[in-house]
A and B are shown apart, each in its own frame.
Chain A
Amino acid sequence: MNSILFMILRRLRRPIILIIVSFAIATIGLTLVPGVDDQGNVWHMSIFEAFYVISYTATTIGFGEVPFPYSQAQRLWMTFSIYFTVLPWFYAVGKIISLLQDVSLRQTVSAERLARQVRSLQEPFFILCSYGQSASLLVHILDEKGMRVVVIEQNQERLNELELTDTRNIILSLCADAKIPENLIRAGIYNPFCSGVVTLTDNDEVNLAVAVSVKLMNPSLRVLARAERKDIAANMASFGTDHIINPYTLFGEQLAMRVHALGTYILHQWLTGVPGDTLPPPENPPRGNWLVCGYGRFGKSVVENLEREQLTTTIIEAMPDLTECEKCVIGSGTEASTLLEAGIEEACGIVAGTDNDINNLSIVMTAKELNPNLFLIVRKNNRNNGALFKKFGANITMQPTDIIAHECLAHMLTPLLAEFLNLVRSQNNQWANSLISQLVDVVGETVPETFALTINATNAIAVSEYIKNGMQIKLQNLMQDPANREKNLKLVPLLLIRDGVSHLVPDQEMVVLNDDCILFCGTYDAKTALPASMNNTKTFNYIMNGLEIPDSLVWRWIKRITS
């Protein structure tokens, strides 16, 4: 900041000196030139009067000839002064304005302003590097859930788009290159309230640079990075990046989940969904032969996962040498002949996974004509084509940005949620279905809130005190409604972690000990009501015993006497 300021001051020297000199000469001349007053006597202007006249002349205001009309000599000098002072004045003003508009000055000023705003943040926030498609979706979901976000994006136009959208909280933004560590520091990686850095650009190199910078500068800060290439993912992992997200492998895994464990998939999507969404409708992909069009990273992942589920696949690829495809039908899949050659009439499903939206749509439309019973999976690359895909209504529409956003949310909302979802994947489908029905009974069909509670002196004072005094608290007690202890709050405990051991969907009769971490899933009302019972001794006592303790000394004394 200072260097730019000094540079500007230096550049301002010449214009200002020019003004001073021109004013000085014009003023002194005007005092020396004789004038005539109303009685015909010779009269000289004082310095101050001369300065006044020159001031309003140079700035082209021009009041008039005061106090007496000027003599010829004075007018002569005035004419000369006009040309002599007005030009430097405009030159200087123009120069000053252009210097103030200097791009680097403005960028530095706004960067410093952002750094100040970030320093004064007093709530947990995430830093997002880049405001691309996935990042913008993530930002809006986080904002809906009430979390603060700081965005670093190099392209001013994308930031303008961010400015124009309606958000609940103020989203701080910095127009700068996220790869430069200075900008990461300004965005607040050293701020103790920073909960994590997320980098989701579609350029793996940029993501790598950001992940490495953050991990080197602040190793304890969580980093979520997107990486589509295995070598870059490995590179990131070596620096200790907390979560590496590869949308293609994720989709492949999710597809596999949908084939054999639909309940698990639904649970996953629901818990990491946008607030207000409902349960996704169950669509079980059929078993049989699948046609996969496009053998890029997406196609490879799909094929790998389908074959792991013991489904056969036939690959259709236009450039087999480029994608290292060993046996495939050569073609783009948009023509009927290629599809027939691949055996579309006997297939049960088709995956259109090229990186061109129009091609994908064309593939599935042709396929649908040839075999109306096909299960259609289509890849959507660009969010702007959403209307087309929606109208078409394929069975599954896969968009990389949605997958990335959901995966990030799983890790960002509550760290325990990622742990829970991991454990869920190893359970079977029936278990998942029964959990879903239990959740829907308690919480309803819209996306619930998930939050974690730690039983210790800072987060649950009353409970922790009771436990220290030797009382037995069951999980069920935590869930009782502080307004009416006969009823339960709309909560379901999903996970209990004690001493590093995870208990999945703990029983309500389980005893709660100090330093337990519990992951709850519930309605928004339950989430806000729970701290009331956890922290307030009087409320918790009511829950445990059903008795109301009076608040004041006087009443307690009265109660003691009368009982």
Chain B
Amino acid sequence: MNMEKVVFGFFIVLAMTLNFGFFIGDIDNASHHHVYELYAAIIVSLIATVLKFGDRTQVGAILLSTSLAADLQLITAAILWAAFQNSMESSNLMVYIVSLSGGALMANFVSVVLLISETISQRR
């Protein structure tokens, strides 16, 4: 049992699950989407990205790229939230935030699929 692989897999899956947790619910209902969950999703996604640094294989490169795509969208969502918190109608704003997080979710999902396929192809 490889400790490094446990940590690696843990953070990737956790990033996806937190992201999904934030995403699910009515798209324009602010009470369905808690800010702390977005916060946690961002932190874990960043850590997962950093863990993917320095991998020279092809799979490693794609994993890093999906992570970066997810980070970009989550951070954009957070910036929008912070900037327009007081100036926009909360349901309109929530639509933007949740749709961005939906995009990040897809990227995290691809990341997890790649992880699974890599694990299965290395049956040991």
Contact = CB atoms under 8 A, between A and B. Distances in A.
Interface in A1-30: 2-3, 6-7, 9-13, 16-17, 20-21, 24, 27-28
Nearest to B60: A6
Contact of A17 (B35, B50, B78, B82): B50
Contact of B56 (A6, A27, A47): A6
A6 B78 CA distance: 30
Contact of B50 (A7, A16, A47): A16
Interface stretch (B20-28, B39-47, B104-112, B113-121): B39-47
B47 A20 contact: yes
Interface in B25-77: 35-36, 39, 43, 46-47, 50-51, 53-56
Contacts of A27: 39
Contacts of B50: 12-13, 16-17, 20
A63 interface: no
Interface in A63-121: none
A6 B64 CA distance: 13
B81 interface: yes
Given A20-B46, A21-B47, A13 B53 contact: yes
Nearest to A8: B54
Nearest to B53: A9
Contacts of A48: 78, 81-82, 85
Contact of A10 (B46, B47, B53, B82): B53
Contacts of A21: 43, 47
A428 interface: no
B39 A10 contact: no
Nearest to B42: A24
A46 interface: yes
Contacts of A28: 36, 39
B53 A24 contact: no
B35 A7 contact: no
A46 B36 contact: no
A17 B47 contact: yes
A47 B43 contact: no
A2 B53 CA distance: 13
B80 to A, nearest CB: 11
User: DSSP majority for the B interface?
Assistant: helix
B53 A12 contact: yes
Residue with the greatest number of chain B CB neighbours at <10 A, chosen from A12, A13, A28: A13
A24 B43 contact: yes
A2 B55 CA distance: 11
Interface residues of A, number: 19
A38 B82 CA distance: 22
Contacts of A47: 35-36, 39, 78, 82
A27 B85 CA distance: 18
Given A20-B46, A20-B47, A24-B43, A10 B85 contact: no
A16 B46 CA distance: 9
Contacts of B36: 28, 47
Nearest to A50: B39
Given A24-B43, A28-B39, A13 B85 contact: no
Interface string A510-521: 000000000000
B97 to A, nearest CB: 13
B101 to A, nearest CB: 15
A347 B35 CA distance: 104
B23 to A, nearest CB: 18
A340 B48 CA distance: 88
A6 B54 contact: yes
A26 to B, nearest CB: 12
Contacts of A11: 54
Given A28-B39, A47-B35, A10 B81 contact: no
Contacts of B35: 46-47
Nearest to B45: A20
Contacts of B85: 46, 48
Nearest to B52: A13
Contacts of B78: 47-48
B109 to A, nearest CB: 22
Nearest to A24: B43
A24 B46 CA distance: 11
Nearest to A49: B82
B81 to A, nearest CB: 7
A343 to B, nearest CB: 76
A27 B42 CA distance: 13
A28 B34 CA distance: 14
Interface of A: 2-3, 6-7, 9-13, 16-17, 20-21, 24, 27-28, 46-48
19 contacts: A2-B56, A3-B56, A6-B56, A7-B54, A10-B54, A11-B54, A12-B50, A13-B51, A17-B47, A17-B50, A20-B43, A20-B46, A20-B50, A28-B39, A46-B85, A47-B35, A47-B82, A48-B81, A48-B85
What are the 6 tightest A-B residue pairs by CB atom distance, in nearest-first order? A10-B54, A48-B82, A9-B54, A9-B53, A24-B43, A16-B50
Given A20-B46, A21-B47, 16 more contacts: A3-B56, A6-B56, A7-B54, A10-B54, A12-B50, A13-B50, A13-B54, A17-B47, A20-B43, A21-B43, A24-B39, A24-B43, A27-B39, A28-B36, A47-B82, A48-B81
